[in-house]
Amino acid sequence: MRVLQICAAYKPAFIYGGPTMSVSMLSEQLAKAGIYTEVYATTANGKTELPVISGVPVNIDGVTVTYFKRITKDHTHFSPSLLKNLWKQAPQFDVVHIHAWWNLVSLFSCLIALLRNVTVVVSPRGTLSSYSFNNKNIGVKQLIHTLLGKPMLNKCYLHVTSERESATIAGLINPKSITVLPNFVKLRAYKPSLKVKQEDGLKLIFFSRIEEKKGLDLLLNALVNITAPYHLTIAGDGDKNYVESLKALVANKHIDDKISWIGFQSENKFDLLGEHDLFILPSYDENFGNAVIESLSVGTPVLISEQVGLADYVMKNNLGWTCKTSADSITKAINNIAADKTSQQQIREIAPGIIYEDFNENNLVKRYVAFYNQLIKNDRI
């Protein structure tokens, strides 16, 4: 089996967050399992370009990756050279797996792969949610979806990472099938979790890109009415103007002394998460949430909005709490959690074992390989 992964941005373009990490881990695990895997990506790295030679295949952690120059520097990532190469090479692959939507790499790659009669899998990565449709360029998205997106997606297989995302997509399109498989999440070597002392109050952490979708504004507004002693660490970065507006918000509410802005963190993230009592992600929309799994892997309980794809998983396994996307709901949840030290400690003790079992790389890659094989079989009948 030969699989081609296509994404607008690939590692080390970690500025794009979870999807970049998830696609790279999927590609690496497939390669380790003996599946011939290539990646086509652009040189995108935010507003800059990756320092790579475009059009030349390179080995990135065991995966053959070709970066193609893009001619637009925004989220459209238009790359004629990638599309031209795909037209030539697509028939050599059994599966073309496209990640994300609403960019010209994904849209035109899907069209080309369908025209070349290759099995096509699309992982929307949250881009086909109601929030995405109704947030920025609404009219353009509706037009593209009606004329091009929906007809193509109905001819593809859809891969999603949560039941919530599956239900949302089922209401928008009628693809060949929708399969739920979780992301690969890179975890450190297993370590039993230890109890975190709380003499200095509840240690909260927000660990994510700072953008409107993540709901950090809701959390900051919620802090005003927290009755228990607390301190919030904000680990992440984002648009400078948006971050400054949030800092102005907390200064205006006179809670800036209870907040530490530490910027993007990577190598030390597991230690950092483990030092805190509660991870909070109150997103307005989130198809999965890698950092939720990373936090639980070190035993730190989570409070996430009901709009996070992993909300059902968290509640089913008693690994944390959920809230609505409102400041009042977040305030109430944090106050209740602060008073429930027994549940905090129980989660700290059981979470790592559950996460390392459910997100075992060897087991998960077998599920992806079986998934691809079944789709190939379906298209050959």
pLDDT tens-digit profile of 224-248?
999 999 999 999 999 999 999 999 9
Mean residue pLDDT of the chain comes to: 92
Within a domain: 207: yes
Mean pLDDT of the 156-162 span: 95
Residues 370 and 345 in one domain: no
Residues 330 and 310 in one domain: yes
Within a domain: 196: no
Within a domain: 123: yes
pLDDT of residue 341: 92
pLDDT of residue 20: 87
pLDDT of residue 17: 75
pLDDT of residue 72: 86
Within a domain: 168: yes
Longest dimension (CA), the chain: 66
pLDDT of residue 150: 87
Q: What separation in angstroms does the CA of 238 have from each of 76, 194, 209, 243, 378?
A: 19, 32, 6, 7, 43
Within a domain: 152: yes
Residues 6+ apart with CB under 8 A from 60: 10, 11, 24, 39
Read off the pLDDT of residues 363-377 as tens digits, 9 standing for 90 and up. Answer: 999 999 999 999 999
CATH number of the domain within which 218 lies: 3.40.50.2000
Mean pLDDT of the 119-131 span: 87
Pick the closest to residue 39 from 69, 9, 74 (CA basis).
9
Mean pLDDT of the 292-302 span: 96
Residues 331 and 272 in one domain: yes
pLDDT of residue 161: 93
Within a domain: 60: yes
Res 196 pLDDT > 90? no
> Is 185:256 a contact under the CB 8 Å cutoff?
no
Give dist(CA 45, CA 164) in Å, integer.
30
pLDDT of residue 199: 62
pLDDT-above-90 percentage for the chain:
79
Q: What separation in angstroms does the CA of 236 have from each of 16, 132, 208, 291, 363?
A: 12, 22, 5, 12, 31
Strand, helix or coil for residue 356: helix
Report the number of distinct structural domains present in the chain.
2
Residues 325 and 255 in one domain: yes
Tell me the pTM: 0.87
Within a domain: 166: yes
Residues 342 and 365 in one domain: no
pLDDT of residue 2: 97
Give dist(CA 57, CA 32) in Å, integer.
18
Res 142 pLDDT > 80? no
Confidence category of residue 116, pLDDT binned at 50, 70, 90: very high
Res 259 pLDDT > 70? yes
Residues 142 and 216 in one domain: no
Give dist(CA 200, CA 3) in Å, integer.
51
Name the more confident of 164 and 234. Answer: 234
pLDDT of residue 195: 56
Give dist(CA 74, CA 89) in Å, integer.
26
Residues 214 and 156 in one domain: no
Residues 108 and 8 in one domain: yes
Instruction: Please report, for the chain, how many H helices and E strands are present, in that order.
Output: 15, 16
Res 198 pLDDT > 60? no
pLDDT of residue 224: 95
The partner residues of 204 in beta bridges, in order of sequence, read 232, 278
Tokens encoding 109: 């790659």
Mean pLDDT of the 82-95 span: 97
Mean pLDDT of the 316-320 span: 97
Mean pLDDT of the 131-140 span: 69
Confidence category of residue 267, pLDDT binned at 50, 70, 90: confident
Q: What is the CA radius of gyration of the chain?
A: 21
pLDDT of residue 54: 94
Is the alpha carbon torsion for 286, 290, 294, 296 positive or negative? positive
Give dist(CA 365, CA 362) in Å, integer.
6
Residues 9 and 143 in one domain: yes
Enclosing domain of residue 84: 2-183+360-380
Mean pLDDT of the 205-233 span: 96
Residues 145 and 227 in one domain: no
Name the more confident of 224 and 172. Answer: 224
Which range, of 187-191, 258-262, 324-328, averages the lowest pLDDT? Answer: 187-191
Give φ, ψ of 5 to 5 degrees. -95, 135
Res 75 pLDDT > 90? no
Residues 226 and 249 in one domain: yes
Mean pLDDT of the 335-357 span: 94
What dihedral do alpha carbons 300, 304, 310, 314 form, nearest 10°?
50
Within a domain: 78: yes
Confidence category of residue 171, pLDDT binned at 50, 70, 90: confident
Read off the pLDDT of residues 20-69 as tens digits, 9 standing for 90 and up. Answer: 888 999 999 999 999 999 999 999 998 899 999 999 999 999 999 999 99
Owner of token pair 């790499």: 105
pLDDT of residue 172: 87
Tokens encoding 14: 């970690």
Residues 34 and 167 in one domain: yes
